[in-house]
Chain A
């Protein structure tokens, strides 16, 4: 809908120039923080967890960055830094695409939106095969930040109920890290 309206040029210029998106984005980051802090599951999970639980988000993050770097190197069109920023969305397409639009460019924001939606869809469709080929942690890693909500049902049905807690923890950690890593990739000197 927004695409059509913008394309038709029906929106007065001041709406875009005053940049309401920036404030909405800050509000969103704050609200996401509130919902994480209010989540009873986060704290009890960390207490029960142990160090093995932390290894899975580490694997997801380093694996994603390695894969994205390799691809960005091959295809051209995006720099390594841009590729990493898109990868740092970990399936959390709404927040990452909007942050990238605000901090970098609209074109890369579109890439981030599509890429992270695709990541979620591939995980939803391929979860059972991933378990078969890459073990029971694979769909959790592939799901990225979405392993705590949208892809949680398919993960538990593909890997087993006992992986629900691992998936929840993984999703919470990545959800907190997405805005930080996206901002880091766009601003740090790499």
Chain B
């Protein structure tokens, strides 16, 4: 938790300081992409090595689907409430 805070806020501060160096920022966006590729590859490695996960993939997928449906349903319902309360009449 503390690591997350430190790395994110350090990054945001540095980003703010270099916000006009467009070349550097382009490089950083490329680096982010490669970081994500590397991490997803590693995640794949761990999954493939774990027989328990491989044999449970369908049920893990079902759990994932149910959780996403719940999350989406909850957030669109509150979005509807917000829309009716604060936004609709301004249109």
Show the binding face of A for B, using Cβ within 8 Å: 1-9, 11, 15-16, 20-21, 24-40, 52, 55-56, 59-60, 62-72, 74-75, 77-78, 83, 86-87, 90, 94-95, 97-99, 101, 106-107, 109-116, 118-119, 122-123, 130, 133-138, 140-142, 144, 176, 179-180, 183-184, 187-188
A133 to chain B, nearest CB (A): 8
B88 touching A5 by the CB < 8 A rule?
no
Residues of B within 8 A of A (CB-CB), count: 70
A21 touching B42 by the CB < 8 A rule?
yes
Closest 6 CB pairs of A and B: A33-B11, A2-B44, A37-B15, A67-B74, A6-B48, A135-B83
B90 to chain A, nearest CB (A): 9
B34 to chain A, nearest CB (A): 9
A7 touching B48 by the CB < 8 A rule?
yes
Q: CB-CB contacts of B1-42 with A at 8 A, as 1s and 0s? A: 101110111111111111100000100110110011011111
A25 to chain B, nearest CB (A): 6
